[in-house]
């Protein structure tokens, strides 16, 4: 460790790990797999910043760290894990590797010495000087550790285990077992089968000394140092392409489509969203008169000619009937744009046997038309993950819509994955689901119901403001799914929507404006930072979803002349209509001039400045902030 001022040593009770995950014998923890190091650092240092005053708080503190490590750093193995011994001495490295490979056979220093053409005394010197233990201690302790799993199996006796791990007899095995485990093997087996070893372990510690230690090191919030991150532009690898995925905007009916078109289409206010697909949930055309039908047709044609996509949800119908005549007439009128049109069906039990034939018929009659299926019923009724995946893949369609909230989706996944995993982490379950489905089918998935609660669950956060979490979610899942769906407006405040009840833009609109510069660009992804590079510009997205402290990001570059910087900031003071106008506002009517003033103020803070190339380039983000930066290098 270089340039380290303070080091925190963390010792975690192993029984607490086994309490949360019984498969630890077949796994190990890789610190390099942790993507959010600052989050882990803050988690570990929490007692320094917040006083811990009782045993429950201590237990919760340790439990949160263990949960994080299992979620972020755990690596599964097909066999028992033997920790690799990393040493700068190449011969000792080879010796220990040899021992690990032959641990189930009798190993003596004479045998090892002959294998490596060295003396037995030199082996003893190496183990003593480098590992601070002798050869016999190393091999016997390793055998005892590996024997624990076999020992608790019902079909194996202590004698069988002793022989498997090359102990002379049961007495010798018991002697070594008591030396390392501190109880006889019989008692260990009895305690395990009685459930004593799986009971919650009370951590023993000197409470007064523990609290005094943290209180003596506690830092007052007003004096907390800011987090810092350093980025060198010249050494970055731009190896990730940020792809534009579908953005589904859900409208309740065709009348809403007319209102939506009047407000947004002509002024291109939603043009920053990639591949906008307007999803009309109720497409009943029978009640419309000729004038209204013509207006809707004109809007549909106008949208399609301007590059928008349209999805029409088809209501339930009996398979003996064809698609309703009004829908067929509409498809005929827009036949030259059917590659931008999708018919959406809801998968139901009575349709399951006939859907493949119906899909084939539609594709034969309308080759350019896209077909989408809502798969909620498949997710809900599948008994296991294989049945779920097979049922989805049977449907040869262009989109699979998930209308369930991600939290509900996670519960269903936990049920079907229960035989293969022992935890219900939302992020891990979604990754496993996509892995089972395969990238080709996963890219057809549309997450059609994103909520604030689900975002908090996905990132294990309790933040009230979720705009930063949404941005992180869109970045992290960009290559996983085909797109995300949002309500244009909803009375359900837990649902992410584009506008509030007064048609003012929610932060999501500004977020997509920021992301627009990254689409189809090669990007470098880092914790809190996304950077894209073109021939003339750098685009940076800087995120700070922590409550405290501020995040300082320093940029190192090799520019030799001054350059302009354009930035846009979203935080509690800028671009957050929820701060300008709380959703629980008591007034039922707000004057138009006030709404107009709010709309004019409801934008990110924009700033253009010239930066002298020799001055330090750094950006400070307050809590719950998103900063977009464009650096011109022309």
**If pLDDT is split at 50, 70 and 90, which confidence band does 127 have?**
confident
What are 222's strand-pairing partners?
A: none
265-299 pLDDT tens trace:
766 677 889 999 999 998 877 777 888 888 999 99
In-domain check, residue 9:
no
- In this prediction, residues 518-540 reach a mean pLDDT of 93
Indicate if 415 and 477 belong to the same structural domain.
yes
Q: Is 528 part of any domain?
A: no
Residues 299 and 179 in one domain: no
Q: What is the per-residue pLDDT for 222?
A: 43
Q: What distance in Å separates the CA atoms of residue 152 and residue 262, rounded to the nearest whole number?
A: 71
pTM here is 0.63
How distant is the alpha carbon of residue 260 from its chain centre? 33
Q: Are strands 483-487 and 445-447 parallel, antiparallel or unpaired?
A: parallel
182-208: average pLDDT: 68
Whether 143 and 166 have beta carbons less than 8 Å apart is answered as: yes
Q: What is the mean pLDDT of residues 491-517?
A: 89
Residue whose token pair is 């933040």: 463
pLDDT-derived band at 71 (thresholds 50, 70, 90) equals confident
d(CA 191, CA 314): 61
- Enumerate residues 6+ apart whose C-beta is below 8 A from 566: 606, 607, 608, 629, 630, 632
Give the dihedral sign, CA 110/115/120/126.
Answer: negative
Please tell me the distance from the alpha carbon of residue 333 to that of residue 325, in angstroms, as a whole number: 12
Phi, psi of 445 (to 5 degrees): -75, 135
In this structure, the answer to whether residues 67 and 96 fall within a common structural domain is no
Task: Assess whether 151 and 270 both reside in one domain.
Answer: no
Rounded CA separation 107/99 (Å): 8
DSSP code of 28?
Answer: E
Supply the DSSP symbol for 182.
S
Give which of 389, 411, 392, 410 is closest to 401, Cα–Cα: 392
Q: Which two tokens stand for residue 150?
A: 């076999």
Q: Does 84 fall in a domain?
A: no
Least confident interval from 63-72, 332-341, 592-601: 592-601
pLDDT above 90 covers a percentage of the chain that reads 35
User: For residue 406, what pLDDT band results from cuts at 50, 70 and 90?
Assistant: very high
**pLDDT over 60 (residue 419):** no
Tell me what pLDDT residue 218 has. 47
Residue 530: inside a domain: no
Of 253, 275, 529, 574, which Cα lies nearest the Cα of 398? 275
How far is Cα 604 from Cα 518, in angstroms, rounded to an integer?
18
DSSP letter assigned to residue 520 = T
Does the residue 42 lie in any domain? yes
- Judging by beta carbons within 10 Å of its beta carbon (0-12, 13-18, 19+), is residue 435 exposed, middle or buried? exposed
Same domain, 213 and 351: no
**The pLDDT value given to residue 573:** 84
Q: If DSSP codes are grouped into helix, strand and coil, which group holds residue 536?
A: coil
In the predicted structure, residue 570 carries a pLDDT above the cut 70 = yes
Residue 372, pLDDT above cutoff 70: yes
Return the bridge partners of 240, or none: 523
Q: Are 458 and 496 in contact (CB under 8 A)?
A: no
User: Residue 364 gets which letter from DSSP?
Assistant: H
Cα distances from 340 to residues 152, 303, 311, in angstroms, run 61, 10, 8
Cβ atoms 249, 223 nearer than 8 A = no
Helix, strand or coil, per DSSP, at residue 540 = strand
CATH code of the domain in which 605 resides? 2.60.40.1500
Instruction: List the structure tokens of 55.
Output: 């045993």
Residue whose structure tokens are 């959703």: 583
**Owner of token pair 């302790």:** 141
Asked if 168 and 262 sit in the same domain, the reply is no
Kindly state the helix (H) or strand (E) to which residue 434 belongs, with its residue range.
helix 426-437
Average pLDDT on 83-97 reads 75
Q: Give the pair of three-digit tokens for residue 179.
A: 């030396």
User: Which pLDDT belongs to residue 405?
Assistant: 93
Mean pLDDT over 327-354 rounds to 85
DSSP 373: E
Residues 63 and 164 grouped into a single domain? no
Quote the mean pLDDT of the chain: 83
Whether a cis peptide bond, with omega within 30° of 0, leads into 545 is: no
Q: How many CB atoms lie within 10 A of CB 589?
A: 5
- Whether residue 415 contacts residue 385, with contact meaning beta carbons closer than 8 Å, is answered with no
Mean pLDDT, range 583-606, rounded to an integer: 71
Asked if pLDDT for residue 53 goes beyond 70, the answer is no
The verdict on 478 and 568 lying in the same domain is no
Q: What is the CATH number of the domain that holds 138?
A: 1.10.10.60
Nearest to 17 by CA among 200, 274, 229: 200
DSSP symbols for 545-600: --SSS-EEEEEE----S-EEEEEEEEBTTBS-HHHHS-TT---S---HHHHHHHHH
Identify the CA nearest to 328 among candidates 291, 298, 283, 295. Answer: 283
130-182 confidence digits (pLDDT tens): 888 899 999 999 999 888 888 888 788 899 999 999 898 999 999 999 988 88
Cα-Cα end-to-end distance for the chain: 40
Based on the structure, what is the number of domains in the chain? 4
pLDDT higher at 21 or 99: 99
**What is the percent of the chain where pLDDT is above 70?**
83
Question: What does the alpha-carbon distance between residue 477 and residue 247 come to, in Å, rounded to a whole number?
Answer: 13
Do 595 and 504 form a contact (C-beta atoms < 8 A)? yes
Please check whether residues 263 and 404 belong to one and the same domain.
yes
pLDDT bucket at 461, cuts 50 / 70 / 90: confident
296 and 433 both lie in a single domain: yes
362 pLDDT above the threshold of 50 = yes
- For 598: left if phi > 0, alpha if psi spans -120 to 50, otherwise beta; the answer is alpha
Beta strands in 334-382 (DSSP E): 341-346, 370-374
Residue after which a domain boundary falls, among 506, 526, 561:
506
Question: Which residue segment(s) compose the domain that 31 sits in?
Answer: 14-78+201-223
Is the domain of 113 the same as that of 62? no
- Considering the domain boundaries, does residue 569 fall inside one? yes
- Number of Cβ within a 10 Å radius of residue 235: 8
**In this structure, is residue 177 part of a structural domain?**
yes
Residue 2: inside a domain, yes or no? no
Comparing CA positions, the residue from 512, 520, 562 lying closest to residue 541 is 512
**Claim to verify: residue 205 and residue 253 sit in the same structural domain:** no
Tokens found for residue 169:
């007899």
Q: What CATH number is attached to the domain comprising 413?
A: 3.20.20
Q: How confident is the model at residue 598 (pLDDT cuts 50, 70, 90)?
A: confident
């Amino acid at each position: 460790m270089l340039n380290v001022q303070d080091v925190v040593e963390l010792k975690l009770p192993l029984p607490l790990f086994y309490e949360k995950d019984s498969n630890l014998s077949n796994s190990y923890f890789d610190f390099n797999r942790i993507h959010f190091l600052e989050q882990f650092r803050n988690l570990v240092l929490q007692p320094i910043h917040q006083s811990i005053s009782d045993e429950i708080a201590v237990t919760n503190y340790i439990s949160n760290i263990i949960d994080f490590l299992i979620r972020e750093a755990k690596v599964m193995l097909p066999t028992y894990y033997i920790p690799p011994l990393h040493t700068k001495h190449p011969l000792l490295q080879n010796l220990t590797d040899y021992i690990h490979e032959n641990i189930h056979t009798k190993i003596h220093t004479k045998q090892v010495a002959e294998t490596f053409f060295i003396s037995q005394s030199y082996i003893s010197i190496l183990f003593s000087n480098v590992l601070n233990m002798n050869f016999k201690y190393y091999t016997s302790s390793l055998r005892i550790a590996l024997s624990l799993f076999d020992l608790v199996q019902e079909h194996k006796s202590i004698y069988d285990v002793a022989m498997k791990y090359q102990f002379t007899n049961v007495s010798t095995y018991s002697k070594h077992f008591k030396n390392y485990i501190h109880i006889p093997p019989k008692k260990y087996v009895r305690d395990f089968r009685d459930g004593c070893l799986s009971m919650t372990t009370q951590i023993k510690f000197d409470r007064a000394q523990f609290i005094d230690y943290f209180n003596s090191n506690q830092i007052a919030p007003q004096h907390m140092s800011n987090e810092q991150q350093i980025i060198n532009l010249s050494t970055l690898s731009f190896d990730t392409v940020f792809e534009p995925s579908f953005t589904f905007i859900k409208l309740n009916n065709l009348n809403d489509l007319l209102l939506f078109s009047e407000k947004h289409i002509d002024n291109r206010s939603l043009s920053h969203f990639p591949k906008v697909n307007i999803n009309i949930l109720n497409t009943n055309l029978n009640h419309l008169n000729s004038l209204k039908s013509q207006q809707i047709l004109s809007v549909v044609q106008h949208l399609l000619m301007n590059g928008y996509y349209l999805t029409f949800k088809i209501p339930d119908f009996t398979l003996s009937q064809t698609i309703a005549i009004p829908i067929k007439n509409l498809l005929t009128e827009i036949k030259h744009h059917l590659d931008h049109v999708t018919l959406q069906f809801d998968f139901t039990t009575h349709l399951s046997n006939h859907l493949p034939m119906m899909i084939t018929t539609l594709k034969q009659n309308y080759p350019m038309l896209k077909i989408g299926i809502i798969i909620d019923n498949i997710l809900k009724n599948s008994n296991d993950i294989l049945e779920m995946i097979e049922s989805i893949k049977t449907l040869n369609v262009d989109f699979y819509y998930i209308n369930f909230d991600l939290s509900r989706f996670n519960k269903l996944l936990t049920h079907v994955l229960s035989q293969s995993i022992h935890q219900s982490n939302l992020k891990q379950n979604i990754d496993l689901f996509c892995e089972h489905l395969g990238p080709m089918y996963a890219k057809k998935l549309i997450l059609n119901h994103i909520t604030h609660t689900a975002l908090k669950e996905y990132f294990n956060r309790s933040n009230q403001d979720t705009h930063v979490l949404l941005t992180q979610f869109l970045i992290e899942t960009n290559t996983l799914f085909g797109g995300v769906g949002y309500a244009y407006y909803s009375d359900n405040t837990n649902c992410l929507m584009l506008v509030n009840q007064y048609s003012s833009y929610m932060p999501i609109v500004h977020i997509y404006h920021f992301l627009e510069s990254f689409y189809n660009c090669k990007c470098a992804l880092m914790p809190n930072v996304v950077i894209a590079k073109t021939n003339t510009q750098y685009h940076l997205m800087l995120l700070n979803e922590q409550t405290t402290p501020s995040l300082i990001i320093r940029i190192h570059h090799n520019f030799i002349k001054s350059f302009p910087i354009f930035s846009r900031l979203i935080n509690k003071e800028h671009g957050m209509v929820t701060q300008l106008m709380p959703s629980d506002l008591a007034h039922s009517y707000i004057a138009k001039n006030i709404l107009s003033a709010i709309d004019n103020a409801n934008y990110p803070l924009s700033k253009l400045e010239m930066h002298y190339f020799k001055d330090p380039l750094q950006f400070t983000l307050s809590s719950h902030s998103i900063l977009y930066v464009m650096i011109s290098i022309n």
